[in-house]
Structure 1
Amino acid sequence: MLRQNQSHAITMSQEQIACLLANAFFCTFPHRNTTQPGSEYSNFPTINFSSLLSNVSPRTVQKLKAIFYYFNTVTEEATKPKGLVTFERICLSPSEFPNWSKQKENMTNLHVYLNGFIEKEGQGMLQVDFASKMIGGGVLNQGLVQEEIRFIQCPELIVARLFTEKLGDNECLKITGAQVYSNTTGYSDSFQCNSPHTDSTQRDEWKRRYCQIVAIDAIKFDDPRQQYSEKNIKRELLKAYVGFKGDPQIPTDYTPAIATGNWGCGAFKGDPMLKALIQMMAAAVAQRDLAYFTFGNKKQAEDLKRTYKLLKSHKVTVGKLYNLLLDYCKHQHHHHHVKSVSDYISENMGVHSSQL
């Protein structure tokens, strides 16, 4: 089991995963049908498919199509995958936490993409899963946003729910080697599973697909104003950093860029610019470049490019940006008509946004 407060990895064959998921589909895992407080697995996600199968809806139909495409592929002798998948829980100790106000790193490279998808255009990069604390979120229920869609396209990810305890603030889950089994379009109610997918991604020396996903869970804010506090900014920085931090045995020159986007926004009510800056800071300390996908939001793409250009041209360090964000939090709490975080940064660096 990948339990809290322990860095540990589990590697399984794709055949073993298929066997476990077949059991999950037929709801054969005992003691996993309740998540009531005090129950044996209350701190783990559900794994049996009972909640999905008992809730018939258009979303369920599309999810089950993808699941059946997966089972068709893994049970046919000609298409049965013969590789491995690694699930690694990474837990940082307090001695490894950055001292954000004193970090001297400058921003690393940022490439902003108006169009494209993390899982497609981000191939070969570390791909961010905008996760729930309970890995997979609502994949076995009615959830159909970024994390659930990824788990439906790559059902081998679902098996992580069997053995991954709820993520703590200083933890992430990295999955290496997951395979894509279906082609999908849309999001939420517009989601469609269209056809089976033949994954031709090369394999590494462990026979894992060259695909690495990192699950990091953002805070879900009831009131968006809650995010403008030192405590919550530090928490999100730590969560992004634990996800972005590379293997210390691999030189940074050989560490791939990170493919990400509006992590913790949407239903979680995060400020997209604040979340982008937090990810840029974490990537800078981890010494990794960022590919940022705005999913068709042209204004956001332009704002992000402009703000990044300003930070780079002024050689703003992570520590300086952190302190600017804390000043912005104070500004937020003392003014009714608040300016955006990007406007605040540019004005406090002596540059009006119209000059950028």
Structure 2
Amino acid sequence: MSIPAFYTLPNSPTYACLDRFSILDEGHENADGHVPVWPLITKILEQPVAHTSHLIDILETISNTLRETSGVAGDYGTLKAFLDEHPSFCGNVWPRIRDAALRLPTHFPEASIPVLRPGDEVVLERDQAACLVAHQFLCTLREPPWRDGYFDFSIWYASGQRHRQAVEIYLTSFLTLFSELAPSCSVNSRPDQQVRYSLHSFKDIESSLPLNRGAAPLSPMHVFRLEDFTTRQQELEYQGPGGAVVVSANKHIGFGQSATQEEIYVGNCPEACPAVLFTPPLEDDHALTVQGARPMLRITGQRRDIAWEPLPIEARRGGRMLFMDALELDELFTSEGEGRLPDLRPENMDREIHKAVTAFSAWKGEGHRQVSIALWGCGAFNGNPAVKMMLVWVAASMTNVSIEVMCHISTQSGFADKFEPFMRGLSGGKVEDLMAVLDSLSTDDPLLQV
């Protein structure tokens, strides 16, 4: 698959479609009978929205016009029921969404966004990010060629959601952003008014690492037992200027319909959602950072057991998220008689260390740098928690980063109880000491039985 250099936006003159409902006056058609999409969108958005049903009409018209189907978002049952519970939407929130969307030519006069390559960074003013988020809500955007859906919010609209509570939380986060969006078209270059998306590769930073990596002292590492997982670690107040949180990502980063950590962290930060438009699949030595995307809520729990509470406006400051995809070890099998976990194969350990080193090298930070991480690459990815955290510890030590390991007190205390004494035993050690342990581990080692 060829990755384009740019992602094309709806205001591009090259983006055209049939005017199926004769919305535009005559004279807009080209030789193929197509009309430019942008005048169509602006005309559709002129329709008044006094009731939720009016919005659904607009979304269906957009879907039928741009995608030639009304089935993209199903019956819109979840969206309609959700908005019916928010009576201020039509009068307060909708005008802000519409106006933000209509500013596309102002914010993006080139009608495109560069697709990230390693070493690249896309910097968006908050108004620009809100503009793209508005179009994700309206479903006016083209699917990036590397994605199979999950690039706009149509996935949250139909009845019969697999996790309706999660979807309603993500829609609440979206409404919260636009409820307080200033009704202006500001241009502000202050760093705290920007969202930064950057792609990094191990190849680009390998030469900056110490030559004798084994001699690096082991970084501080602490295990925290949590009553519940929360999104507090993605808040700037928690991280501080030099902190970050690891997002256990898929190689196709982004939001979704359930409540994995990645889906929660991205869904809670609408300004992070546009990253799916210009971030190609992560390769084995790639990591994505998103800095400045503001969390709207404080979400507690994961999977089926989640809840949320409002986040005060002053606490809605975006920190730094490190998107790292782990190996899917359920697809790898131990060779007969090998006696070792797939996690411990040298090529697999190298891959995970390089991935984490790339993420932990992605920013300089101010003073002490600290990363919060859950049991990355475990769960659905089937990694062994002890091995994964040892590999993370190696990477953190190679990059002079301290680590907070977040464990659930009910379901992951067994790991914590074994790993904490192990860490104490290596106190004052070096990377080469930890690598020696990894090289000596076998499948039946007690440390791995968690």
TM-score clears 0.5: yes
2:353 pairs, out of 222, 232, 237, with 237
Partner of 1:167: 282
Tell me, yes or no, if structure 1 residue 217 matches structure 2 residue 325.
yes
Structure 2: distance between partners of 1:323 and 1:100 = 18
In the TM superposition, 1:122-137 aligns within 5 A as 122-124=238-240, 125-136=243-254
1:88 pairs, out of 198, 202, 225, with 198
- 8 Å Cα contact 2:216-2:398 kept in structure 1: yes
Q: 1:77 to 1:156 in 2, by over 3 A?
A: closer
Partner of 2:382: 269
- Displacement, 1:21? 1.4
- Displacement, 1:57? 2.0
In the TM superposition, 1:139-288 aligns within 5 A as 139-140=255-256, 142-192=257-307, 194-201=308-315, 209=317, 211-222=319-330, 223=332, 225-245=341-361, 247=363, 254-288=367-401
Structure 1: distance between partners of 2:312 and 2:148 = 32
Partner of 1:205: none
Tell me, yes or no, if structure 1 residue 27 matches structure 2 residue 139.
yes
Tell me, yes or no, if structure 1 residue 306 matches structure 2 residue 406.
no
If you compute each CA radius of gyration, which structure gives the higher value, 1 or 2? 2
Q: 1:339 to 1:144 in 2, by over 3 A?
A: same
In structure 2, list runs of 5 or more residues that go unmatched: 1-112, 334-340
Structure 1: distance between partners of 2:306 and 2:214 = 42
- 8 Å Cα contact 1:59-1:191 kept in structure 2: no
| 2:271 alignment partner, SS class | helix
Q: 1:13 to 1:67 in 2, by over 3 A?
A: farther
| 1:320 alignment partner, SS class | helix
Q: 1:114 to 1:77 in 2, by over 3 A?
A: closer
| 1:264 alignment partner, SS class | coil
Q: 1:281 to 1:311 in 2, by over 3 A?
A: same
Partner of 1:340: 446
Structure 2: distance between partners of 1:238 and 1:183 = 32
| 2:198 alignment partner, SS class | strand
Q: 1:300 to 1:217 in 2, by over 3 A?
A: same
- 8 Å Cα contact 1:130-1:217 kept in structure 2: yes
Instruction: Tell me which amino acid in the other structure corresponds to 2:216.
Output: E
In structure 1, list runs of 5 or more residues that go unmatched: 33-39, 203-208, 333-337, 344-356
For these two proteins, the number of residue pairs brought into alignment is 313
Identity of aligned residues (%): 22
Structure 2: distance between partners of 1:112 and 1:195 = 26
Structure 2: distance between partners of 1:240 and 1:45 = 28
- 8 Å Cα contact 1:101-1:319 kept in structure 2: no
Instruction: Tell me which amino acid in the other structure corresponds to 2:130.
Output: A
Instruction: Tell me which amino acid in the other structure corresponds to 1:339.
Output: D
- Displacement, 1:181? 0.9
| 2:215 alignment partner, SS class | coil
Partner of 1:103: 214
Structure 1: distance between partners of 2:260 and 2:378 = 11
CA RMSD of aligned residues (A): 3.0
Structure 2: distance between partners of 1:339 and 1:310 = 16
Structure 2: distance between partners of 1:317 and 1:326 = 15
- 8 Å Cα contact 1:45-1:135 kept in structure 2: no
